[in-house]
């Protein structure tokens, strides 16, 4: 249905409001109504909506009539300052006064988006709040009055507002505003309005009540001025412009722009500077908002991008002085005018030669803004001598008019020069080589200077900024722009080198010549204790921004470079404790190190950076960090050598060295820093090559695209998990710098155990001497106590390799509050918020130790989009213990992909302890993968203890025949629900015996439900020791002999009897079997041994092949207390 247009007649805001209310009362077929303002220009539309809401909510309104028309429930939503659809939905929820449980979803959603790095403008509605709004509005009539600042059509159905015109559920909205003006209502404007109105049913625009012809232009101007003042009042309200004359102040700011137009003025930078320095905007009384804050807010909330025709119209309307608040200023643009009027601002854009003192007399006390472009004057005798009220000085492409050496002017004017700079607020030097103004002496003199802008060619500006090092400046904002050398700049650069030397000599400044050191490092402005913002553009000669160059007060930093040959290698913000915003844009190909430690940055956005050489990132002490947005690298991962992140409340003690080193090949070596963590007693963790300590594990989402260059030794725990934990058995990770040694372990007796700890102690005490001898004495003394045992087989030591780097990861475990809305809780989204460890953990880790974590639910966690290969190709040693949140499978199964791909092919040691909720160690779930032949080929040591819900350990499929080929030790203790150690995917008759040729030791304790070690026949020819207690459901042991070979048909019965007698004597059929002269020892309960099932001698599975050894406690444990009858 095409958009309907309706013109209403009104000459002011109140008249337009009455017309629209009448339209709403008598017309109900349209649900979405767009108000386009004065003559379709959007002028005054927002003011009309505000006045309409005020009148409809007035107690004097016609209540009965408006209730029938659905105008009794007014929902006023002002999103003129547009953020996103979520903010719109939140404004609706506030207007409807939804309960706090609903409003809490906004905070939760914002926090999730913060960790996902989603920009504010892209944040959408909350689904659960949408249903709450829909439920609130479904049974009532209403009118939503919506100020839409997005510049696009917004469907309120997305937010939960059920818009249906025939049911008096309507929306009245306006867009644009803030002086987004058109010259006249042309056909293009009509098309633009239709595009903006989008899916609206009707558009209303205001036209004069009586047609005004060209002869009555003053009346027309009065009408337009009325709407301009109304629009200005809206802008003043958004911007916080104080006072009853706030709308007139806004119009004065607009008129200032109209007078100056766009001639060589950067309004995007200086609009607020002109308004404040010229006195249009002043400080609010009674310690209110300062003028600078008001000016910046006004600049953000007003559109100044007008065509020349619009500015001509505005000039025609605003040139009358009747509406003005006061005669703040008179603006002049030529030297002739400067001699006839009293002015507060002076602009010139011609190649003029200005004489010294041309603004003397009355101008000495009045001139506040001076903008000189392409002028020539004497630096020793400038035209603004004696202007004691000068606030804003802009010198653009100005040149020094050299005086004769003996004219005597400089000595007499030097004091006057200093006087005119004493009250300066804003200074800009643009391609003007008067660098004496940047000396320490002059900056110390400019005690009120708050903004300094320096622009020049070929790093001349940055070079001369070094003269201000050590000054006590009060500057708040510093902007440095360096442009590259061009043909038209050649003459300027040459004159710079000549004129600057002479002017420096005249003013007592040491010549800088071509000193490259001053260009390579950022000037020392650490003493500028008021500086909040630094903006750099160009500055390609810089090589480093040192940690001691920036002041602690810095809040915002921006660096843009569009030249590929940039030299910056190191940027350090470690002393900038107030830094909230840091933006790098463009080419930074030489950047190696970025230090953001101890800053307040919430999102580190590096997406606009082309920094292929970035290798070191420091984010220690960044408590507010939520996300890191990495440079785009053609779907490749970012490779780092050093990554240090800490978002906890840990205190960092930094001792930065001041020296820099040059390597033999000439590569740059950045400032070395010593980082010591005051984090318990384990300060060695700070020296890890990668250290990640997180307040919230959701920050891991930002590390999914990171690749660490070297192989890793990874240790993961909760914050504090590496301290205050009692030593455990075989804890080989007590120190990165010490070789592992076996330790004594303490176990807590399991609830409902069928055996007392005395049984366990007795078992090992009987054979302790033999065990120690077998292990070469590499076992500590046994502390025989009711709650202590010693493992016969200690955990293998951590492999050491000098090329592997250490990576410590700690997580602060916090339980988020649950939100309840009509049966919905955050626990329902637990799967959505589960964390995923960085991809470098499963790609580059050689050693993995995960312990004492309440956050990790699987390793590495749910595989995000784009990550399919969880092969763990490099993992050699893994230990997981005391992680109650681990559930399901310890390791996340690989995604569905091509089958028979090798996984965990290098894993040698796996140790799991006290995993309360784990069901499987490895489980392929619904992925239906078939591991490759060499998967788990090198697994040598497998230890599991106190995993009460464990069902099975490792599936061994027919596709990986060599899985567990090198397994030597299998040890499982107190896993009461374990049914099978190695499940398989084949039936008994389909599979030959699985060989475990290296298996030597089996220890099984308190596994009451264990039925199989391996479901089918298993052969362990080198088995030496079997220790079993409390495994009453286990009925089979592995075969230790190959089945006898089929004998050839013998010629006589006598020969057959002779052969049988020979076999029965030694029990072997081959040299290989004869070599196994020692039978494996089985230490077990006698009753259990007697109940075992055997396949028989013909299958190589017979009790004769074992040497049983029964302890004193050889029967099933009975209840110790008497049984009540």
pLDDT, tens digit (0-9, with 9 covering 90-100), for 818-843: 544 454 444 444 444 567 888 889 98
Q: Strands across the sheet with 74-79, in order?
A: 4-9, 202-207, 32-38, 169-175, 142-148, 74-79
The average pLDDT across 804-828 equals 63
Distance CA 768, CA 355 (A): 105
Q: In this model, does residue 351 exceed pLDDT 90? A: no
Distance CA 332, CA 346 (A): 5
Strand pairing class (668-669; 642-646): unpaired
* pLDDT number for residue 199: 84
Model confidence at 864, pLDDT cuts 50, 70, 90, reads low
Residue 679 to residues 626, 695, 810, Cα–Cα distance (Å): 21, 14, 11
Candidate from 67-71, 353-357, 548-552, 1057-1061 with smallest mean pLDDT: 1057-1061
Compute the mean pLDDT over every residue in the chain, rounded to the nearest whole number: 77
Q: In this model, does residue 865 exceed pLDDT 70? A: no
* pLDDT number for residue 948: 95
- Range 4-209: architecture per CATH: 3-Layer(aba) Sandwich (3.40)
Q: In this model, does residue 159 exceed pLDDT 60? A: yes
* pLDDT number for residue 596: 95
Q: Which residue has the higher pLDDT, 747 or 139?
A: 139
The average pLDDT across 7-35 equals 90
| DSSP labels, 628-694 | EEPPP-TTPPEEESEEEEE-SS-EEEEEE----EE-TT--EEPPPEEEEEESTT-GGGGGSSEEEEE
* pLDDT number for residue 496: 41
The average pLDDT across 518-545 equals 88
Q: Which residue has the higher pLDDT, 367 or 362?
A: 367
Structure tokens at 48: 């009309």
Candidate from 40-49, 138-147, 722-731 with smallest mean pLDDT: 722-731
Determine the straight-line distance between the first and last CA of the chain, rounded to whole angstroms: 87
Give how far the C-alpha of residue 826 lies from the chain's centroid of Cα atoms, to the nearest Å.
Answer: 22
Q: In this model, does residue 649 exceed pLDDT 70? A: no
The per-residue pLDDT for range 215-274, each reduced to its tens digit, is 544 467 788 888 888 889 989 988 888 888 899 999 999 999 888 887 778 899 999 999
Residue whose C-alpha is closest to residue 442's, from 479, 417, 425: 417
Beta pairing partners, 918: 888
Task: Give pTM, 2 decimals.
Answer: 0.80
Candidate from 306-315, 525-534, 952-961 with smallest mean pLDDT: 306-315
Q: In this model, does residue 302 exceed pLDDT 70? A: yes
Q: In this model, does residue 625 exceed pLDDT 50? A: yes
Model confidence at 651, pLDDT cuts 50, 70, 90, reads low
Other CB atoms within 10 Å distance of the CB of residue 814: 11
Model confidence at 513, pLDDT cuts 50, 70, 90, reads very low
Candidate from 13-27, 690-704, 782-796, 895-909 with smallest mean pLDDT: 782-796
Q: Are 628 and 702 contacting, i.e. CB atoms less than 8 angstroms apart? A: yes
The average pLDDT across 986-991 equals 59
Q: In this model, does residue 905 exceed pLDDT 60? A: yes
Distance CA 1098, CA 667 (A): 72
Cis omega (within 30 of 0) for bond into 840: no
Q: In this model, does residue 920 exceed pLDDT 60? A: yes
The average pLDDT across 189-210 equals 77
- Name the packing angle between helices 127-137 and 100-116 (round to 10°): 150
Task: Report the number of secondary-structure helices (H) and strands (E) in the chain.
Answer: 25, 53
Candidate from 124-133, 816-825, 912-921, 1093-1102 with smallest mean pLDDT: 816-825
Tell me if residue 786 falls in helix, strand or coil.
Answer: coil
The per-residue pLDDT for range 1022-1056, each reduced to its tens digit, is 999 999 999 999 999 999 877 665 544 444 445 44
* pLDDT number for residue 495: 43
The per-residue pLDDT for range 322-340, each reduced to its tens digit, is 666 555 545 555 555 544 4
Maximum pairwise Cα distance, the chain: 144
Q: In this model, does residue 1071 exceed pLDDT 70? A: no
Q: Which residue has the higher pLDDT, 1045 or 800?
A: 800
* pLDDT number for residue 971: 96
Q: In this model, does residue 990 exceed pLDDT 80? A: no
Q: In this model, does residue 360 exceed pLDDT 70? A: no
**Of the ranges 14-23, 561-570, 641-650, 807-816, which is most confident?**
14-23
**Of the ranges 35-39, 402-406, 933-937, which is most confident?**
933-937
Show me where the domains of the chain are located: 4-209, 243-321, 887-893+901-1043+1077-1124
Q: In this model, does residue 438 exceed pLDDT 80? A: yes
Q: In this model, does residue 402 exceed pLDDT 80? A: no
Q: In this model, does residue 415 exceed pLDDT 80? A: no
b/e code 674-691 from CB counts within 10 Å (16+ = b): ebebebeeeeebbebbbb
**Of the ranges 308-317, 496-505, 1110-1119, which is most confident?**
308-317
Q: What percent of the chain has pLDDT over 90?
A: 36
* pLDDT number for residue 276: 94
* pLDDT number for residue 590: 92
Distance CA 76, CA 174 (A): 12
The average pLDDT across 614-630 equals 94
Q: Are 986 and 955 contacting, i.e. CB atoms less than 8 angstroms apart? A: no
Model confidence at 720, pLDDT cuts 50, 70, 90, reads low
The average pLDDT across 149-175 equals 91
* pLDDT number for residue 458: 63
* pLDDT number for residue 1080: 92
Model confidence at 473, pLDDT cuts 50, 70, 90, reads confident
Element (H, E) at 858: none
Q: Are 115 and 695 contacting, i.e. CB atoms less than 8 angstroms apart? A: no
Model confidence at 745, pLDDT cuts 50, 70, 90, reads very low
Residue whose C-alpha is closest to residue 202's, from 228, 178, 170: 170
* pLDDT number for residue 863: 60
Beta pairing partners, 430: 396, 455
* pLDDT number for residue 812: 79
* Long-range pairs, 460-464, Cβ under 8 A, ≥24: 460/433, 460/435, 460/493, 460/496, 460/500, 461/429, 462/519, 462/522, 462/523, 462/539, 462/541, 462/542, 463/512, 463/515, 463/518, 463/519, 464/435, 464/438, 464/500, 464/512
Q: In this model, does residue 661 exceed pLDDT 70? A: no
Q: In this model, does residue 1068 exceed pLDDT 90? A: no
Q: In this model, does residue 980 exceed pLDDT 80? A: yes
Candidate from 26-35, 357-366, 433-442, 764-773 with smallest mean pLDDT: 764-773
Residue 189 to residues 39, 180, 227, Cα–Cα distance (Å): 10, 12, 19
Q: In this model, does residue 409 exceed pLDDT 80? A: no
Model confidence at 919, pLDDT cuts 50, 70, 90, reads very high
Residue whose C-alpha is closest to residue 605's, from 479, 707, 702: 702
* pLDDT number for residue 695: 87
Candidate from 26-40, 103-117, 196-210, 679-693 with smallest mean pLDDT: 679-693
* pLDDT number for residue 965: 93
């Amino acid at each position: 249905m095409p958009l309907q247009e309706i013109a209403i007649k009104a000459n002011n805001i109140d008249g337009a409001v009455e017309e629209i209310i009448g339209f709403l009362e008598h017309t109900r077929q349209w649900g979405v109504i767009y108000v386009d303002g004065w003559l379709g220009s959007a002028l005054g539309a927002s003011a009309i909506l505000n006045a309409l809401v005020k009148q409809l909510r007035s107690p004097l309104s016609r209540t009965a009539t408006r209730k029938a028309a659905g105008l009794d429930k007014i929902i006023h939503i002002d999103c003129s300052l547009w953020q996103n659809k979520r903010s719109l939905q939140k404004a609706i929820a506030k207007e409807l006064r939804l309960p706090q449980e609903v409003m809490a979803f906004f905070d939760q959603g914002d926090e999730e988006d913060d960790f996902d790095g989603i920009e504010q403008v892209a944040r959408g509605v909350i689904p659960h709040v949408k249903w709450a709004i829909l439920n609130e509005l479904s049974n009532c009539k209403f009118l939503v009055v919506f100020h839409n600042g997005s510049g696009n059509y917004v469907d309120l159905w997305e937010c939960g507002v059920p818009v249906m015109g025939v049911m008096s559920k309507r929306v009245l909205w306006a867009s644009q505003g803030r002086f987004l003006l058109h010259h006249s209502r042309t056909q293009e404007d009509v098309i633009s309005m239709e595009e903006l109105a989008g899916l609206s049913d009707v558009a209303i625009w205001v036209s004069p009540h009586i047609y005004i012809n060209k002869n009555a232009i003053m009346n027309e101007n009065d009408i337009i001025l009325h709407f301009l003042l109304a629009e200005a009042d809206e802008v003043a309200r958004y911007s916080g412009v104080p006072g009853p004359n706030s709308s007139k102040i806004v119009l004065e700011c607009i008129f200032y722009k109209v007078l100056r137009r766009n001639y060589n003025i950067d309004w995007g930078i200086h609009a607020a500077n002109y308004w404040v320095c010229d006195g249009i905007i002043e400080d609010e009384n009674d310690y209110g908002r300062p003028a600078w804050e008001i000016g910046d807010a006004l600049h953000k909330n007003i559109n100044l991008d007008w065509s020349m025709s619009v500015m001509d119209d505005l000039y025609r309307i605003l040139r009358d002085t009747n509406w003005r608040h006061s005669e703040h200023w008179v603006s002049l643009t030529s030297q002739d005018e400067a001699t006839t009027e009293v002015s507060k601002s002076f602009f010139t854009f011609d190649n003029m030669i200005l004489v010294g003192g041309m603004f003397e007399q009355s101008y000495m006390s009045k001139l506040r803004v001076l903008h000189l472009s392409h002028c020539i004057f004497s630096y020793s005798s400038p035209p603004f001598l004696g202007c004691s009220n000068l606030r804003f000085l802009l010198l653009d492409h100005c040149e020094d008019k050299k005086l004769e050496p003996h004219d005597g002017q400089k000595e007499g004017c030097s004091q006057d020069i200093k006087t005119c700079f004493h009250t300066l607020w804003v200074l800009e030097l643009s391609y003007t080589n008067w660098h004496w103004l940047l000396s320490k002496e002059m900056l110390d003199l400019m005690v009120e200077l708050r903004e300094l802008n320096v622009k020049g060619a070929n790093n001349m500006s940055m070079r001369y900024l070094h003269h201000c090092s050590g000054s006590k400046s009060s500057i708040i904002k510093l902007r440095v722009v360096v442009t590259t050398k061009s043909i038209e700049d050649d003459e300027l650069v040459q004159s710079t080198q000549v004129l600057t030397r002479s002017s420096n000599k005249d003013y007592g400044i040491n010549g800088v010549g071509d000193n490259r050191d001053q260009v390579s490092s950022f000037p020392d402005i650490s003493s500028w204790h008021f500086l909040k913002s630094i903006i750099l553009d160009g500055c390609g000669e810089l090589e480093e921004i040192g940690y001691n160059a920036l002041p602690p007060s810095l809040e915002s930093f921006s660096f843009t470079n569009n030249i590929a040959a940039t030299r910056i290698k190191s940027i350090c913000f470690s002393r900038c404790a107030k830094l909230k915003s840091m933006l790098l844009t463009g080419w930074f190909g030489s950047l190696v190190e970025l230090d953001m430690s101890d800053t307040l940055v919430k999102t580190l956005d590096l997406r606009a950076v082309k920094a292929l050489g970035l290798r070191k990132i420091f984010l220690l002490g960044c408590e507010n960090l939520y996300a890191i947005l990495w440079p785009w690298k053609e779907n490749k991962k970012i490779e780092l050598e050093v990554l240090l992140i800490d978002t906890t409340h840990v205190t960092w003690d930094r001792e930065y060295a001041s020296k820099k080193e040059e390597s033999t090949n000439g590569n740059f070596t950045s400032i070395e820093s010593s980082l010591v963590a005051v984090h318990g007693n384990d300060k060695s963790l700070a020296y890890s090559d990668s250290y990640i300590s997180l307040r919230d594990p959701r920050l891991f989402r930002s590390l999914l695209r990171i690749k660490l260059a070297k192989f890793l030794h990874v240790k993961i725990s909760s914050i504090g998990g590496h301290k205050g934990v009692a030593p455990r058995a075989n804890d080989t990770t007590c120190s990165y710098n010490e070789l592992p040694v076996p330790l004594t372990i303490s176990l807590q007796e399991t609830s409902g155990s069928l055996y007392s700890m005395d049984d366990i102690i007795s078992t090992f005490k009987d054979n302790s001497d033999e065990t120690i001898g077998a292990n070469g004495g590499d076992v500590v003394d046994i502390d025989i106590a009711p709650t202590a045992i010693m493992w016969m087989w200690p955990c293998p030591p951590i492999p050491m390799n000098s090329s592997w780097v250490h990576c410590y990861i700690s997580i602060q475990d916090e339980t988020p509050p649950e939100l309840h809305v009509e049966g919905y809780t955050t626990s329902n989204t637990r799967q959505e918020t589960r964390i995923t460890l960085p991809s470098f953990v499963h790609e580059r880790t050689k050693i993995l130790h995960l312990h004492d974590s309440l956050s990790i639910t699987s390793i590495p966690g749910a595989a995000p989009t784009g990550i399919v290969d969880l092969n763990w190709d490099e993992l050699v040693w893994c230990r997981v213990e005391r992680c109650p949140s681990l559930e399901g499978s310890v390791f996340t199964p690989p995604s569905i992909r091509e089958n028979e791909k090798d996984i965990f092919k290098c894993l040698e040691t796996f140790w799991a302890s006290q995993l309360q909720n784990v069901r499987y160690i490895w489980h392929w779930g619904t992925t239906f993968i078939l591991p490759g032949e060499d998967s788990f080929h090198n697994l040598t040591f497998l230890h599991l203890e106190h995993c009460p819900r464990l069902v099975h350990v490792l599936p061994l499929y027919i596709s990986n025949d060599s899985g567990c080929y090198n397994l030597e030790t299998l040890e499982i203790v107190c896993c009461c629900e374990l049914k099978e150690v190695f499940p398989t995917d084949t039936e008994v008759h389909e599979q030959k015996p699985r060989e475990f040729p290296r298996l030597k030791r089996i220890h099984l304790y308190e596994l009451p439900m264990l039925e199989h070690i391996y479901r089918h026949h298993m052969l362990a020819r080198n088995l030496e020791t079997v220790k079993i207690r409390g495994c009453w459901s286990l009925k089979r042991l592995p075969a230790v002999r190959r089945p006898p070979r089929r004998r050839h048909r013998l010629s006589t019965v006598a020969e057959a009897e002779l052969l049988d007698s020979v076999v029965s004597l030694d029990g072997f059929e081959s040299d290989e079997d004869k070599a196994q002269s020692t039978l494996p020892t089985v230490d077990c309960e006698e009753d259990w041994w007697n109940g075992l099932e055997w396949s028989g001698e013909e299958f190589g599975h017979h009790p004769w092949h074992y040497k049983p050894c029964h302890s004193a406690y050889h029967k099933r444990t009975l209840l110790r207390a008497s049984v009540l009858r």
